[in-house]
Structure 1
């Protein structure tokens, strides 16, 4: 499936068309009313993309980011990717060694390069450098945010992810929202792009801006997050790697994950396989080819999600055929990434460095699991 050229590729577009491109990226837009005015007055707005490094980069971070960044570049935006290395120190599995965190970031950059992100026209910024250079701007804002909101309000952001509730939330997680609000507001940019899973912090930022009448508020685009591939995601062990697809997954691993994926027949809503098609396949290729084995083995090409959804809901497409098409399409996307890393010694060295880091910090995970068992034992004794 050759990648289809978009109408804005290498074409000068007006402010209305730029607005349409940017809104095609964001499922939600904060301060949308100001976006069109910004584009009319500023032909090349600055756009910052928030990114937190990961040793296991999934295709939301690798492929969706590539799609969106390339769209913004082609729309004439000056794009910066802000790599939040400083915040990664709060994760117990990584620790506070910024040089190790940088290695993870460099690995992610190689992933983007392999995927085809237009990095020659993107500025890469490390948040730790920004904090060092502009501490006088960041820390007063972070302190003001922490002063204006209660612990309960800040902790509420993490309740959905906290295993035992906010009472054992690490203090680092309380600092994080305050510093992220400061990062959003102190970075001199017109537009920010975040994933929808950061929405609570974005709402905190908007609330803070309105409380203090912050001038020059950036427009914030929120793109949708890819769903968990497995049924009943709230009960899925986070260590189950079948929940998502990673940039380094081999073909057989990827195929196995898609075959396990939840794809209920004739159900379009909350169908993770269809979500992957909507946010990955159609934006990347412009179409999806499905071999209809149940009918006569003919191939049907879908160019819109609406068209595919109608056929699927009516039963003209079955889940097995959709999964096969999804497997083929994602493998086609990731094949250049696999080829790039298999023939690039620098990229291979980064993978080894990150794997070594995981081996070292695996001991920390073991200690945490022991602490968890001790807490359960202590609670049992108290109840007894």
Structure 2
């Protein structure tokens, strides 16, 4: 069942998170037996959810589940159609312990989203009384400043929110009008509430 969408949609390339790797391997194994072409499986890093994990010391599968974004908790992830204010609010509330890089979702967004896309430095604006503005040309430099506590979590969150907002702005504009807006409204009408 988990792999049926790959076959029903007739996809050539199935791009999913690493947590879906076993399903993709299964799909590749059974495809010829079911008369389908073997899909190409592409896996990507999964961003951690923004919420504080219930048990940060959990291991294995339990750890992965706790750190994963959840569709049922909209505040655990940034969506491509989130407004600037929503992005700022979500990242502002995100789990981001001072001086800690491990399992830090805000640093993950910086590393895998902001620095992956932009060649220009990430600018962190902050008042002069807190050291003034900072610019980071690489994720490594950003992480180093955060680990040394030169960069405060609140400032990191604001800077990453600005970078994410710049990245998704064209997508937001695309879904503001025409057919794309209608499709988005239709999809949003299907949302199930708890």
TM category (shorter chain) comes to: 0.7 to 0.9
CA displacement, residues 154-198 of structure 1 (integer Å, 9 cap, x when unaligned): xxxxxxxxxxxxxxxxxxxxx223x36868xx96x6x76432221
- 234, 243, 259: which one pairs with 2:92? 259
SS in 2 for 1:176: coil
Q: Aligned-residue CA RMSD in angstroms?
A: 3.3
- 337, 362, 365: which one pairs with 2:171? 337
CA displacement, residues 304-351 of structure 1 (integer Å, 9 cap, x when unaligned): 222221121111111111011011112222223333333x22222223
Equivalent pair of 2:6/2:14 in contact (CA under 8 Å): no
Establish whether residue 244 from structure 1 lines up as the match of residue 65 from structure 2.
no
Q: How many residues align?
A: 175
- If the length of structure 2 is used for normalisation, what is the TM-score? 0.73
Equivalent pair of 1:268/1:274 in contact (CA under 8 Å): yes
SS in 2 for 1:225: coil
The whole-number CA distance in structure 1 between the counterparts of 2:26 and 2:108 is 28
1:64 corresponds in structure 2 to: none
1:195 corresponds in structure 2 to: 17
State the Cα distance separating 1:219 from its structure 2 match: 6.5
Structure number with higher relative contact order (C-alpha < 8 Å, ≥ 6 residues apart): 1
- 33, 47, 51: which one pairs with 1:226? 47
Q: Where is the helix percentage greater, Structure 1 or Structure 2?
A: 1
Establish whether residue 314 from structure 1 lines up as the match of residue 160 from structure 2.
no
Equivalent pair of 2:122/2:159 in contact (CA under 8 Å): yes
- Structure 2's unaligned 5+ residue stretches are 55-65
Equivalent pair of 1:292/1:317 in contact (CA under 8 Å): no
- Structure 1's unaligned 5+ residue stretches are 1-174, 367-384
1:373 corresponds in structure 2 to: none
- Structure 2 CA distance for partners of 1:240 and 1:217, relative to 1, 3 Å: closer
Equivalent pair of 1:181/1:204 in contact (CA under 8 Å): no
SS in 2 for 1:289: strand
The whole-number CA distance in structure 2 between the counterparts of 1:289 and 1:181 is 41
Equivalent pair of 1:288/1:303 in contact (CA under 8 Å): yes
- Structure 2 CA distance for partners of 1:232 and 1:305, relative to 1, 3 Å: same
TM alignment of 1:212-223, pairs within 5 A: 220-223=41-44
CA displacement, residues 271-304 of structure 1 (integer Å, 9 cap, x when unaligned): 000000111101111231123546321x332222
State the Cα distance separating 1:239 from its structure 2 match: 3.2
TM alignment of 1:175-190, pairs within 5 A: 175-177=1-3, 179=4
TM alignment of 1:92-103, pairs within 5 A: none
2:61 corresponds in structure 1 to: none
- 97, 105, 108: which one pairs with 1:272? 105
TM alignment of 1:8-23, pairs within 5 A: none
SS in 1 for 2:125: strand
Equivalent pair of 1:196/1:224 in contact (CA under 8 Å): yes
- If the length of structure 1 is used for normalisation, what is the TM-score? 0.39
